[in-house]
């Protein structure tokens, strides 16, 4: 992993960034699972998800919560004991039973900065504004609502049709979370396809109106999920052992964020279908299958 990207993802992120590595030690390659993405206008970006110590039952069993919906998600409010109120996509911020975060959310890294997609503090707001490119040079990420920060908040509010008051209130924090997640995954064709399809049927419709049979994706095993994540550039590469542990869940979250899918770490029908679609379009990584071999691979999934 690029050490600059690691540093960008951690520096100044407070608790969210800190959770990805051990106290008094710098971040290591194994502290994060990263995935490359494409932002608006083809700008390259990275998604870095801190590797947690454990996974939820829903993640381990690939059981989506609630009914799958069509369309874009909306950030929700979640209170983390000891940390405060955060706004993030549903299922992204998971409180621990003893306070704090059970799993930190993904971090979006752009040429402008790095920001968690969960927005709670003034520092989170400053990280988000820098990452979204609202200040040049970047704002000082000091947690203070100074004149420059207020001016950038107003510029963001104006562009996003919010009340322009310079205050980082709930609506602004939710909009910043949405803007970060949309920046990270808005250019994904695979993501757009699954967001606007009922993937449980095994058939999806593209933006051009064509229909694709994705039945094979629905029977994808954990080992298959790990392999496709590696094909798509999971870094560091996952061990393809069929065990859905913390590293695999973090890699799933990075993939979901890079493709505009709710980053809950659950490899449900939407995520598996997006993996299937993205893998057929991706250039092969060293030591992995070509797209044509992948098609054969999926056709033999049992």
pLDDT tens per residue, range 43-79: 889 999 999 888 989 999 888 765 555 656 689 999 8
290-294-297-298 Cα dihedral, nearest 10 degrees:
180
Distance CA 140, CA 130 (A): 9
CA 151, chain centre distance (Å): 28
Q: Look at residue 20 in the predicted model and tell me its pLDDT.
A: 33
pLDDT-derived band at 26 (thresholds 50, 70, 90) equals very low
Mean pLDDT of 219-230: 94
Which pLDDT tens digit goes with each residue over 105-155? 999 999 889 999 999 999 999 999 999 999 989 999 999 999 999 999 999
Q: Are 149 and 122 in contact (CB under 8 A)?
A: yes
SS3 116: strand
pLDDT > 90 in the chain, percent? 49
The mean of the pLDDT values for the chain is 81
| pTM summary value | 0.83
Which pLDDT score, from 0 to 100, does residue 72 have?
A: 63
Q: Where are the alpha helices (DSSP H) in the chain?
A: 3-10, 14-18, 57-61, 122-131, 147-159, 170-185, 189-195, 215-218, 222-231, 246-258, 269-281, 291-299
Give the whole-angstrom CA distance, residue 118 versus residue 172. 12
Query: Is the peptide bond between 152 and the residue preceding it cis, with omega within 30 degrees of 0?
Result: no
In this prediction, residue 95 has a pLDDT band, given cuts at 50, 70 and 90, of confident
Residue 92 CA, chain-centre distance (Å), reads 9
What is the predicted pLDDT for the residue at 66? 59
Average pLDDT, integer, range 239-248? 94
Which pLDDT band, with edges at 50, 70 and 90, does 94 fall under? Answer: confident
**234 Cβ contact list (under 8 Å, min separation 6):** 33, 34, 35, 251, 254, 255
């Amino acid at each position: 992993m690029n050490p600059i990207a690691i540093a960008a993802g951690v520096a100044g992120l407070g608790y969210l960034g800190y959770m990805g590595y051990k106290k008094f030690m710098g971040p290591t390659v194994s502290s994060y699972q990263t995935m490359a993405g494409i932002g608006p206008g083809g700008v390259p970006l990275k998604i870095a998800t801190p590797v947690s110590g454990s996974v939820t039952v829903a993640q381990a069993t690939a059981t989506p919560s609630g009914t799958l919906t069509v369309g874009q998600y909306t950030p929700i409010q979640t209170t983390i004991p000891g940390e405060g109120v955060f706004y993030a996509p549903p299922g992204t911020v998971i409180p621990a039973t003893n306070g704090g975060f059970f799993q930190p959310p993904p971090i979006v890294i752009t040429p402008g900065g790095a920001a968690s997609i969960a927005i709670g503090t003034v520092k989170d707001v400053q990280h988000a504004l820098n990452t979204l490119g609202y200040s040049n040079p970047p704002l000082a990420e000091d947690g203070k609502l100074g004149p420059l920060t207020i001016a950038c908040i107003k510029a963001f509010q104006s562009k996003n049709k919010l009340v322009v008051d310079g205050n980082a209130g709930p609506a602004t924090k939710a909009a910043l979370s949405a803007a970060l997640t949309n920046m990270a995954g808005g250019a994904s064709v695979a993501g757009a396809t699954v967001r606007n399809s009922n993937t449980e049927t095994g058939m999806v419709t593209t933006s051009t109106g064509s229909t694709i049979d994705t039945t094979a994706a629905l029977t994808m095993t954990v080992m298959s999920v790990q392999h496709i994540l590696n094909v798509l550039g999971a870094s560091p590469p996952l061990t393809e052992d069929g065990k859905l542990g913390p590293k695999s869940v973090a890699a799933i979250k990075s993939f979901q964020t890079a493709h505009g899918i709710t980053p809950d770490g659950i490899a449900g029908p939407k995520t598996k279908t997006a993996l299937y679609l993205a893998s057929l379009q991706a250039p092969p990584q060293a030591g992995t299958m070509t797209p044509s071999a992948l098609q054969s691979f999926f056709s033999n999934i049992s």
